[in-house]
Structure 1
Amino acid sequence: MSFPHIDLLYSVSGLGVGFLVGLTGVGGGSLMTPLLVLLFGIHPATAVGTDLLYAAATKATGTLVHGIKGSVDWRITGRLAAGSVPAAVITLFLLNRYGLNTPGAARVIQLVLGYALLVTAVSLIFRPQLARLAYKAGTARAANASTREGSTVAWTVLTGAVLGVLVSITSVGAGAIGITVLLLLYPRLSTVRIVGSDVAHAVPLTLIAGTGHWMLGSVDWHLLVSLLVGSLPGIVVGSLLSSKAPEALLRNVLAATLILVGVKLAFS
């Protein structure tokens, strides 16, 4: 495999998405995959496969930072992976069996991607309210801790399985959706540890799913390298400015954008 050259247009797009990811904390799949499909006309399967390896590289950097800060709860990460990794493998097997590059498969991926973006938007809009409700409910159930712990573990593994399917098909879900569900399941855990655990879980999930897509021939290496060249500095700059940004406004603007894109993908 020859080393791919850099395409400036893709790198600029990566820079913009990386900046928004660093600024808002929302996973790049929610932004990058729709951009590749709608703006550049990339086949949905290739957009998903390339974005998964793109996410694996960027999430690994984020995990290193969170790990050094001690903001990863590895128990939660392991529980999520116990559901997501087998689900991703099964999903990739089915994608291989029924074909990725047919017009029907492209339409299914586009539909699922559209609906996933709509769910992501809803989770962004109502995340603070859901977190407050979950915290109150968690406090009320504190007396029944042992029963609640077993139920929480089961729901965490199930959440991982759902994310494994969703991410393998669309590359969307490991960020905004995963964090929102974890806030509901672990209301007494700090937000920074929720985010760190979710980011750490995304690394094996996106790496396995991305490798599977690579084996199925749905990764564009030229596109991947070009995106990374722009996105990595973009994430750094966005992260440095994130503390100064109006979080609620950014979250709602981003949610509105995802709704428009999701409707376009799902109903066009």
Structure 2
Amino acid sequence: MTDLLTTSALSVLLVSFGVGIVVGLTGMGGGALMTPALIFLGINPTVAVANDLVAASVNKSVGAAVHWKVGRPNLKLAGLLMCASVPTAFAGAFIVNAIGDVEAQEDFLKQALGVALLFTASTYALRMYIQLRYVTAGNTLRQDDPKLKPALTLLVGAVGGLLVGITSVGSGSLIMVALLLLYPTLSAVRLVGTDLVQAVPLVLSAAISHVLVSGVEWAVLIPLILGGSPGTFLGARLANWVSQSVIRRGIVIVLSLTGLNMLGVPPEIVGLIGAALLLLGPLVWGFVRQSRGLPAFDNNAAAWRPVDDPDGVPARPDAGAVEQPEPR
């Protein structure tokens, strides 16, 4: 019990609360932010991955329950993802365990995390550009569910599940990005809800395998749950109120710098890259927007308008805009 009253436990509690809010708001960023944060707090990488997965299985259940209550998730799409992701996620811990001794496992996990974080940041940027193309191409969003693409969806689930099982990264980041690329007209709320629902059995499967292989550290797990659950609940409740543009751009920078750090890039170079992303990133994105015929800087995230007929006529004159994740 005294282990739960330490400064280290309080740090984990506060960090998990903040990450939980991001997860609830965007449906992404949980493992991509929490596992590196635990490692930076001095926790062994294998312990960080195992405990983060166990905590995420609880925290994501909270967010999924909120989204399920209001009927947002696309259950057919979530079911397809689960069929492929659950088995591969379960294999993750056994793959890590087969790498070698503890030191070899730590090195492998840091390298895998670094690559996963940089890949995640890259897919965020790619998604922003592709969404921008859809905005300039028509700017309308139908309210019916998109036609499913079973083969590609199963492939996304299998790859995403394996990545989650090894690094804990991917259930709310890479899979979310892949869903947007496959189903660009799925509304933001349904996208987040679908991702959270499919992530529960996926993360639970990965968590069970890591518990069987590595066990859990209660002094880490309990603060993760106590901080993450209310944070995820709060974020999910605020999902319709908060513009996600700034949050996601910030996540891209954080993921990029964290990934570079995990790969052993010198701090000086990481700092220079961070400054460049912070200062030059908005200017580059403004240029890209202008090349697509949009204002360089525009805070209106409601780029998609609901329609109820093939001609794109709004459902009603006062129909509000439906926010799609990162349309700019």
Partner of 2:211: 214
- State whether structure 2 residue 82 is matched by structure 1 residue 90: no
Aligned counterparts, 1:229-248, within 5 A: 229-240=226-237, 245-248=242-245
AA paired with 1:27?
G
Question: CA 1:109 to 1:239, structure 2 compared with 1: closer, same or farther past 3 Å?
Answer: same
AA paired with 1:53?
V
Q: 1:232 offset after TM fit, Å? A: 2.4
Q: 1:98 offset after TM fit, Å? A: 4.1
Alpha-carbon contact 1:183-1:191 (below 8 Å) kept: no
Q: Structure 1: how far apart are the matches of 2:73 and 2:2?
A: 35
Q: 1:171 offset after TM fit, Å? A: 0.4
Q: Structure 1: how far apart are the matches of 2:10 and 2:76?
A: 41
Aligned counterparts, 1:169-184, within 5 A: 169-184=166-181
Unaligned runs of 5+ in 1: 138-147
Structure with more contact order per residue of length (Cα contacts < 8 Å, sep ≥ 6) = 1
TM value normalised by structure 2: 0.70
Q: 1:241 offset after TM fit, Å? A: 5.0
Q: Structure 2: how far apart are the matches of 1:134 and 1:32?
A: 32
Alpha-carbon contact 1:45-1:106 (below 8 Å) kept: yes
Alignment equivalent of 1:9, drawn from 5, 11, 15: 11
Question: CA 1:216 to 1:3, structure 2 compared with 1: closer, same or farther past 3 Å?
Answer: farther
- State whether structure 2 residue 103 is matched by structure 1 residue 103: yes
Q: 1:26 offset after TM fit, Å? A: 2.4
Q: 1:52 offset after TM fit, Å? A: 0.5
Of Structure 1 and Structure 2, the greater helix share is in 1
Q: 1:197 offset after TM fit, Å? A: 1.2
Q: 1:61 offset after TM fit, Å? A: 0.9
Alpha-carbon contact 1:113-1:265 (below 8 Å) kept: yes
Partner of 1:74: 75
Question: CA 1:258 to 1:98, structure 2 compared with 1: closer, same or farther past 3 Å?
Answer: closer
Partner SS state of residue 41, structure 1: coil
Unaligned runs of 5+ in 2: 138-145, 266-328
State the identity %.
38
Q: 1:186 offset after TM fit, Å? A: 1.6
Aligned counterparts, 1:82-231, within 5 A: 82-99=83-100, 102-133=102-133, 152-231=149-228
Partner SS state of residue 221, structure 2: helix
Question: CA 1:80 to 1:155, structure 2 compared with 1: closer, same or farther past 3 Å?
Answer: same
Q: 1:202 offset after TM fit, Å? A: 0.7
Give the number of the structure whose alpha-carbon radius of gyration is greater. 2
Return structure 1 stretches of 4+ with deviation > 6 angstroms: 134-137
- State whether structure 2 residue 265 is matched by structure 1 residue 264: no
Name the stretch that deviates more: 222-231 or 43-52. 222-231
Partner SS state of residue 267, structure 1: coil
Question: CA 1:118 to 1:193, structure 2 compared with 1: closer, same or farther past 3 Å?
Answer: same
| Cα deviation code 1:74-126 (max 9, x no counterpart) | 11111111111121233333334445x52111111111111111122122233
Alpha-carbon contact 2:91-2:206 (below 8 Å) kept: no
Partner of 1:50: 51
Query: Aligned-residue CA RMSD in angstroms?
Result: 2.8
Q: Structure 2: how far apart are the matches of 1:235 and 1:136?
A: 33
Name the stretch that deviates more: 182-191 or 233-242. 233-242
TM value normalised by structure 1: 0.84
Question: CA 1:23 to 1:64, structure 2 compared with 1: closer, same or farther past 3 Å?
Answer: closer
Q: 1:263 offset after TM fit, Å? A: 0.3
Question: CA 1:10 to 1:129, structure 2 compared with 1: closer, same or farther past 3 Å?
Answer: same
| Cα deviation code 1:18-61 (max 9, x no counterpart) | 233344442311111001112x2211111001000111111111
Partner SS state of residue 216, structure 1: helix
Alpha-carbon contact 2:189-2:240 (below 8 Å) kept: no
Alpha-carbon contact 2:73-2:190 (below 8 Å) kept: yes
Alignment equivalent of 1:32, drawn from 31, 34, 37: 34
AA paired with 1:63?
A
Q: 1:180 offset after TM fit, Å? A: 1.1
